[in-house]
Structure 1
Amino acid sequence: MNSKVIRLILLGAAAYVTFVFMVIFLYPDKPENMDWQDREEYNKVQITKLSLGATREEVLALLGSPDITEAKMDSENSIQVMFYRTQHVRADGLTTQDECTPLLFENDLLVAWGDGAYQSYLKS
């Protein structure tokens, strides 16, 4: 009788460990599923990994949907600014531009990020 109980306990423990392993290592952690504090930290880390010339699609795959976005066309280029939340300013339940890092894209290529990127967008 004791060996059956021990076997059942070991089987249950093995099933539990297998389940936990699968959730941790096989289930992708998407930015959209994070709470706002985790998302801010995630965005900060991922933005440091960006390089100029990255495509808009690559950035979307890395960071997920932006919190705020703006776009316009000039005579030759499509220009888009995507804002990703990176710092908490006030607890009002809203994400505002001053809580975000802007990423500037021209013709779907990353050309700048940071405060200067948005100022460049406004001037163009």
Structure 2
Amino acid sequence: MTFFRRILLSGAMAALLAGVSAGCASMPWNEAAHNIENSKELRVGMTKSEVLEVMGEPVSDETFSTPDVWYYFIQSVWMDGLTTEDECMPLVFEEGKLIGWGNPFYTQYRIDKKKGGKKLEL
């Protein structure tokens, strides 16, 4: 009887571990780690299609605004299932080319635009 009990217990444990590991693969921190790692390949001047090839689809974008900004999930602040701007890395495009990324860059870009808008040279 104990032999069968051990087999049953081993099978149940294996099924539980398989379910947990499969669930972890879809957790937001995996997407965040993936996006952070891929962002190391970004270069100023890349086209939108090149960025899509490296980063995949953004979680959000502001394609109808100037500048064109795409957002990629990089951290989970609230663990509420919602993705907010403070949990994302902005990628900023002008004339279809990547001019910079990250919150420090985007913040400085907006400050410069308000002060008179110096245009960045690619």
Select which of 43, 47, 55 maps to 1:51: 43
How many percent identity over aligned positions?
36
C-alpha displacement at 1:87, in angstroms?
A: 1.1
The offset of 1:34, in angstroms, is: 5.0
Q: What corresponds to 2:84 in structure 1?
A: 96
Q: Secondary structure at the match of 2:43?
A: coil
CA distance in structure 2 between the aligned counterparts of 1:116 and 1:82, rounded to whole angstroms: 15
Q: CA RMSD in A?
A: 2.0
Structure 2: runs of 5+ lacking an equivalent: 1-24, 118-122
Distance 1:80 1:34, change over 3 A: farther
What's 1:109 paired with? 97
Q: Which runs of 5+ in 1 are unaligned?
A: 1-32, 74-78
State the Cα deviation string for residues 15-43 of structure 1 (Å, max 9, x = none): xxxxxxxxxxxxxxxxxx95422111010
Q: Is the 8 A contact 2:42 2:54 kept in 1?
A: no
State which drifts further: 110-119 or 51-60: 110-119
Asked if structure 1 preserves the Cα contact closer than 8 Å seen for 2:41 and 2:54, the reply is no
* Structure-2-length-normalised TM-score: 0.63
What stretches of structure 1 move > 4 A for 4+ residues in a row? none
If the length of structure 1 is used for normalisation, what is the TM-score?
Answer: 0.62
Q: Does 1:80 align with 2:82?
A: no
Tell me the amino acid that sits aligned with residue 40 of structure 1: A
Instruction: State the match for 1:23 in structure 2.
Output: none
Equivalent residues, number:
87
